[in-house]
Amino acid sequence: MKICKTFFLVTVLLAVSSSNVFAMESEEQTVFHETTMEDSLEEEAEIFTMEDFNTNVSAELKAGMNSQVKKFTEMEALYATGTTYTPDQYEPNNNSGVATSGIKGKKIQANINTANDEDWYKIDVTQSDLDESQGLIAVILTDIPANYDYDLFILKIMSNGQMGQVSSEQTGNTSETIYLQGEPGTYYAVVDPKNGIDNNYSPQNYSFYFGGAYKNGSTGYMNLGMKFDFGTKNYGSNGPWLSPYQQVDLSSVSFIPDQALISKLYISDNSNGAYWIGFYKMVNGIEQMGNSSAPLDIAENQYLAKELYQIQGKITRSDGFIWEPQLRIDYIYPITIQNLRFISQ
Ligand SMILES: [Ca+2]
Ligand SMILES: [Ca+2]
Ligand SMILES: [Ca+2]
């Protein structure tokens, strides 16, 4: 990529120096028609007095100034009509020696704002980073401004000393996404405007992420507004009694990332504190004895978090016990363009 860019620049310089821009200089002399002051007088041409001249010119100038002159403050207004212009806080970073570090696992905003700009990022990946993300690294370049085309390159000195490179080079402002089976070490990521496109730079930001391909999240305990009123009952040897279920549909909520998998599922004991015997909490048929705050007994990372949840209680004796369960879902989710909004800046 670097070689291509340098070669391109050299080609342009050669093109400029080989064409003789002075060759077209004209040798013709401009010939003025000789009109004397006297001729003018004879032709009775309209002549302005010096005073008129001054007045007219200054009026024209004034009119011209008012209609054409732009103030510097208006230049900001031009940007304000589109996406707000923000300087690239990570500059200078135009080569590996000054590459920006400290961005691992974050979603950042930066921009390609001059013809020669390219943005280098340096990321040190550790074994524990990889352990947290199933060994996978995600690198995502998105929100590329409309009508521009930036590409994404990943470089790494491999253990044998050779340079490894992988790239994503979609056309247009299509997002660039690379998933890597990671190994510990130093990676360089480069956001590079595609060559051969005029004015391929913009003050508008792109978004960039380099980090684990999976992240953890949690809904926290959610009050579902459910009440299970078991009344005053003693089923004794006839029990236990199974309540009707109540359900909550989380299959299309926006506060849980798409494709999230349940890592741990909790159902709380919240209640009015009345006496009970033999109380069991149930979520989609998974049972847990009352007074347990442990996660439910389900396999980790195998069930979709965005699901329909059916909740029931089972009880042997109730002295007016009312259960008001809260549900908590801990999950793991893949870093995709859609899910980037869950990543902090
Ligand atoms: Ca930049
Ligand atoms: Ca740069
Ligand atoms: Ca591209």
What's the pLDDT tens digit per position in 97-110?
A: 999 999 999 999 99
Q: Is the pLDDT of residue 299 over 90?
A: yes
Q: What is the pLDDT of residues 242-286, one digit of tens each?
A: 999 999 999 999 999 999 999 999 999 999 999 999 999 999 999
Express each pLDDT in 189-205 by its tens digit. 999 999 999 999 999 99
- Phi and psi at residue 147, in whole multiples of 5°? 75, 10
Q: How remote is the CA of residue 140 from the centroid of ligand 3, in Å?
A: 12
Q: What domains lie within the chain, and their CATH numbers?
A: 96-212 (2.60.120.380), 217-338 (2.60.120)
What pLDDT score was predicted for residue 231? Answer: 95
Q: What is the pTM of this model?
A: 0.72
Spacing, Cα 275 to ligand 3 middle (Å): 65
- Ligand 3 center to residue 231 CA distance, Å? 64
| Span 127-174, pLDDT tens digits | 999 999 989 999 999 999 999 999 999 999 887 888 889 999 999 999
At 62, is the pLDDT very low, low, confident or very high (cuts 50, 70, 90)?
Answer: very low
Q: How far is the CA of 91 from the centre of ligand 2 (A)?
A: 5
Least confident of 44-48, 143-147, 158-162, 214-218: 44-48
29 or 292: which carries more pLDDT confidence? 292
Q: Which ligand is nearest to the CA of 206?
A: 1
- Confidence at residue 54, expressed as pLDDT on a 0 to 100 scale: 40
Average pLDDT taken over every residue of the chain: 82
Considering the chain, what percentage of its residues have pLDDT values greater than 90? 69
CA of 179 to the centre of ligand 3 (A): 16
Q: How many whole angstroms from 344 Cα to the centroid of ligand 2? A: 22
Tokens of 141: 């370049």
List the structure tokens of 116. 């020669």
Q: Which residue has the tokens 């978090």?
A: 305
SS (H, E, C) the chain: CHHHHHHHHHHHHHHHHHCCCCCCCCCCCCCCCCCCHHHHHHCCCCCCCHHHHHHHHHHHHHHHHHHHCCCHHHHHHHHHCCCCCCCCCCCCCCCHHHCECCCCCCEEEECCCCCCCCEEEEEEECHHHHHHCCCEEEEEEECCCCCCCEEEEEEEECCCCCEEEEEECCCCCCCEEEEEECCCEEEEEEEEECCCCCCCCCCCCEEEEEEECEEEEEEEEEECCCCEECCEEECHHHCCEECCCEEEECCCCCCCCCCCEEEEEEECCCECCCCEECCEEEECCEEEECCCCCCCCCCCCCCECCCEEEEEEEECEEECCEECCEEEEEEEEECCCHHHHHCCC
* Of the candidates 232, 227, 316, 235, the residue with the CA atom closest to the CA atom of residue 272: 227
Rounded Cα distance, 151 and 167, in Å: 8
Cα of 169 from ligand 3 centre, angstroms: 5
Distance 92 CA to ligand 2 centre (A): 5
Q: How far is the CA of 259 from the centre of ligand 3 (A)?
A: 26
Going from the Cα of 113 to the center of ligand 3, the distance in angstroms, rounded, reads: 16
Q: Nearest bound ligand to CA 193? A: 3
d(CA 212, CA 126): 11
Output the CA 247–ligand 3 centroid distance in Å. Answer: 45
Which residues are within 5 Å of ligand 3 (an ion), measured at CB? 149, 151, 170
C-alpha 44/C-alpha 144 separation (Å) is 67
Angle (CA) 207-211-212 rounded to 5° is: 130
- pLDDT score for 85: 58
Judged by its nearest atom, the ligand closest to the C-alpha of residue 109 is: 1
